[in-house]
Structure 1
Amino acid sequence: MAEDVLYIGIDLGTFRSVMVSSGNHEEEELTVIGTPKDPIARNFLKRDVLFGEEALKNRLALNLFRPLELGVIKDTKEDREFIAHFITHLIGLSDPEDHNRVVAVIGAPAEASHVDKTAIFDAAAGSVNAAMIISEPFAVAYALDMIEHTLVIDIGAGTTDLCRVYGTIPGPGDQMHTGYAGDYVDAQIIKEVQSKYNGAQITKDMARRWKEQYSFVSTSTPDDPIMVDFSIEGKAMTLDITDCMQRACESIVEPIVDNVKKLIADSNPEYHDEFRRNMVLAGGGSGIRGLGALIERRLSDMGDVNVHVVDDPVRLGAMGGLRLAMEVPEEMWKNLTLAST
């Protein structure tokens, strides 16, 4: 009788993580963990740890932790423990107890893939039989079946990861990252609005919501001004932030373009044309309207450039991980809890 194997793909993101499985599970969870502040909170919540939206909903009664920062696990004992809790929680959503064997491919930001590989393996050890850690840009390319001379630009919350893909798992020299990503845009929105409107009171969550709803660059300007509600010294206002939004969104373009040029220039010159014509824009930041066209325009001095903007940036990395889990021979993997039963 064939062994009953559950295959899992995970996109471990700074802001949001996604899990998909061969058992038709699809789960999206904010990468945030909460623990009760005191015994009263513990009795009220009836749990020691809460995750994602549920943690945010009860945040006043919790100590909140975001264990990933700028694409890497924060260097504290607490955060290493919390990322282990979080990975165990994600895997648990796939009902692994219903299967004889569980194997997982975890896509992480490019830097986490190298710096924190051991910590991620350790975190997964209690829940899976075997695991492989890959860079998130490679998972995206694999999901799209675009692993032949492709350059992936994956704009996450903490980092923008760039990766040359050419038919094999990329090495450190094939990847670059920059902190000019989603969280940076949020901070720039706050800075731009407060510069325009003295005394404006804006939180990071407000800026993120505005970005997710209204973000754009010069190649796709909105027909109507962007009007949002916020307070100025406690007074409710509805004001125009169109110019603020454009400047904030465009603030990440030049660093990305510079890194793309470096990755292409450092590659085998026989394949420069293919890398220029096979660029993929992925991650949550790919949702900024007009961004793909603007990157093409800023790279036009390099020759004929084509940037493909993905259709499903949230699930794509996890889907690539699942496909890898089901297709890649397991002898390539690092075995974890293989105790006989």
Structure 2
Amino acid sequence: MSTTTTNPVFIGMDLGTFKTSVASSTGYRDVMQTAVGWPKDHLARTMLGRDLVFGKDLVDHRLALDVVRPFEKGALKYVDGKKAGMSDAQIKKHADATRLVVEYAVKMVNREAGRPSFGVIGVPARANMLNKKFILDAVDGVFESVAIVSEPFTIAYGMNRLTDTLVIDIGAGTIDICPLYGTYPDEKEQVTLPMGGDLVDEEFEKRLKAKYPNVQVSRNMIREIKERFGFVHDLNESATVQLPVDGKPMTFDITEPLKGACQTIVQPIVAAVREMIGKFDPEFQESLRHNIVLGGGGSQLKGLDRVIENSLKEYGGAKVTRVTDASFAGAVGALKLAMNMPKDGWTQLKKRK
């Protein structure tokens, strides 16, 4: 890395499938959708008064926009674009969307002209070199220098829990499970499950419409209901909401379809955790079980911590802790890492040389 760059703004970024959170050395924080919208036609362009739309406006004007979520279902960030069935044109558009989202986020954080941006970006634990190269290419010209690291590692780093800790990071597109034992984890020791909040949303919508065929609901409504009521435990829990039928609001008990949808990710998580602990050094298995950290948006599902603890009773018990701020835990950890990063830890990007 060049030593001529002075007074950079350090930025930690959790580049999530659905939301991107950023934290900077200037004290600024923000969270936004990992998406960009293009006006569908000239009328939409005239009404919006711009060529690109980000943030809250994506929801407010979504009917007038062609919205691209570049990492939907883990595509490009975890899954190779070709294997995901994407054409070259689609891959290019998603790459453009990635760059635009990162560029927008960095501009919101670093508003001082002339100050370079150094960023640490969190990606899924098992993202391969091809996926990391995609991220590097997309952010070239936005950051002066960058480091791509495992999302679970940034969470643990921010919490000072780098020893005998198991991090479960539940995002919209992937679930990452990573053991920490005082050194940067080997890729082979980490697990990325190709599922997350998006899968829960799809399953909830399917189950809801199977039970109430006439209900009218959008994916945004589905997501909001899940975030408000989502649970996985067996305690007496109920959820009722108002949803339209032919435009008329009606009250529905959505407890059963919501619980069933949320539970779709439980067994894969439990199975992966059991397998990972079983393969770990036997002298440290107990400490690992009693230092499990839940991060990401999915960590907020009510009862998930207790379900994981109960699933490990026969293994000697466990202690599961949620991050205090699911929105910013990864970004804050990435920022902390950026501010402590040695010079040889950075990748200098080509367009800024």
Name the TM-score class by shorter chain.
over 0.9
One-letter amino acid of the structure 2 residue matched with residue 324 of structure 1: L
The one-letter amino acid of 2:25's match is S
What's the secondary structure of 2:109's corresponding residue? coil
Q: Does 1:178 align with 2:189?
A: no
Letter in 2 for 1:307: V
Which runs of 5 or more residues in structure 2 are unaligned?
Answer: none
Matched to 2:15, the amino acid is L
Q: Map 1:99-110 onto structure 2 (within 5 A).
A: 99-110=114-125
Counterpart mapping for 1:213-252 below 5 A: 213-218=228-233, 221-222=236-237, 225-232=238-245, 236-252=249-265
Equivalent residue for 2:346?
Answer: 333
Q: 8 Å contact 1:201–1:232 — kept in the other structure? A: yes
Cα deviation 1:189-229 (Å, max 9, x = unaligned): 2222223223333322221111111112225543xx31111
Contact 1:6 1:96 in 2 (8 A): no
Look up the match of 2:304.
Answer: 291
Distance in 2, Cα, partners of 1:100 & 1:196: 55
Q: Equivalent of 1:257, from 258, 266, 270?
A: 270
Question: Which secondary structure state, in structure 2, belongs to the residue aligned with residue 41 of structure 1?
Answer: helix
CA contact under 8 A between 1:131 and 1:334: conserved in structure 2?
yes
Alpha-carbon offset, residue 235 of structure 1: 5.1
Q: 1:326 to 1:63 in 2, by over 3 A?
A: same
**Which deviates more from structure 2 when the two are superposed, residues 144-153 or residues 234-243?**
234-243
Q: Which moved more, 1:162-171 or 1:231-240?
A: 231-240
- In structure 2, how many angstroms separate the alpha carbons of the residues matched to 1:253 and 1:283? 15
TM superposition shift of 1:175: 1.4
Any unmatched runs of 5+ in structure 1?
none
What SS does the aligned partner of 2:56 have?
Answer: helix
Could you state the TM-score of these two structures normalised by the residue count of structure 1? 0.92
Match of 2:135 in 1: 120
SS where residue 318 of structure 2 aligns? coil
Between Structure 1 and Structure 2, how many residues are aligned? Answer: 338
- Rounded Cα–Cα distance in structure 1 between residues aligned with 2:64 and 2:22: 27
CA–CA distance in structure 2, aligned partners of residues 31 and 314 of structure 1 = 13
Q: 2:319 matched to which residue of 1?
A: 306
Question: Secondary structure at the residue paired with 2:185?
Answer: coil
- 8 Å CA contact 2:233, 2:307 repeated in 1: yes
Q: Equivalences for 1:73-222 in 2 at 5 Å? A: 73=76, 74=81, 75=86, 76-95=91-110, 97-112=112-127, 114-218=129-233, 221-222=236-237
- Aligned partner of 2:45 in structure 1 is 42
- Distance between the aligned counterparts of 2:49 and 2:317, measured in 1? 59
Distance 1:43 1:235 in 2: 33
Q: CA separation in 2, counterparts of 1:275 and 1:140?
A: 16
Tell me the TM-score normalized by structure 2. 0.89
Of 70-79 and 281-290, more deviation after overlay is shown by: 70-79
Aligned partner of 2:21: which letter?
A: V
How far did 1:49 drift?
A: 1.3
Secondary structure at the aligned position of 1:110 is classed as: coil
**2: CA distance, partners of 1:92 / 1:218:** 42
Q: Percent of pairs identical after alignment?
A: 37
